[in-house]
Structure 1
Amino acid sequence: MNKINFLDSVDWSFPVPISYGPNRINELPDICKTNNLARPLLVTDKSSKDLPFMKKILKDLNRSSIKSDIFTDISPNPVDDEIYKGRSFYKEGKHDSIIAIGGGSGMDGGKAISLIANNSENLWDFEYEKSPIKNYRLFHL
């Protein structure tokens, strides 16, 4: 096993695909199918949940036989209680992935929920140099 020298320079990479641009939401059902996502949890902020594009996403996923739920209890600067609620929602719904939608709040909330969704650690355990036990499946749109 390789030992890490904490004085060495290191590059960290968190390869999370982000899709950005007009009409990219149309690709979501195919992205889910390609990645074998059968039950994604959509995470966005409260103000986005009733917008036409969210209704379209839900309709398109449903039409493609992809069962999804939406979690919107995310404030402009997500707090830990919201993230824990998101984890509970993820687990109770037996979701297999998280799709973070929107701007900063939705993205931040989705990333934080995905960090603890499959781990028993406290959110704040990740503040410094601790690593998650399990990988997560997170997509941004």
Structure 2
Amino acid sequence: MSKLARYLQVEDILLAVNVSNKQRLFEQVGRHLQETRQLPGDGVTASLWRRELAASTAIGDGVALPHARLAELDAIHALYLRPQSPMAFAAPDHQPVSDILVLLVPAPADQQHLDLLADTARLFSNPRFRLALLRCKEALQVKQLFDHW
């Protein structure tokens, strides 16, 4: 089981998301968390956008790992999103992004947050994992992949 698996729930796996840019993506994440976790959607969106303005969270190979700290959180939340079409994300390899893993952590962040971010980057740097993820067509399949990888 990946370290990430314990923070990713089936209801937080969104496939074929209809967004055209990062701002719309972050707004979708904010709306989702407001509806499912009663978190302040605007605050989630703003926190993700502030972090993204500092430097792109795209890591290459079609992957982005947006992350932010939120004072309102009492636990780490992870969301996996796959846009309907790959989208520009200012990736270091200039490739569009099709796999997006959002990490939201309680503020202030601690070493656990950094370790989880590093572990997630390692997981997504594995071409076999990315290919297996691409083959997943339903949220439950995605969750099972994270659980058993």
**TM-score scaled to structure 1, two decimals?**
0.32
Which one has a larger percent helix, Structure 1 or Structure 2?
A: 2
Which one has a larger percent strand, Structure 1 or Structure 2?
A: 2
Greater C-alpha radius of gyration: 1
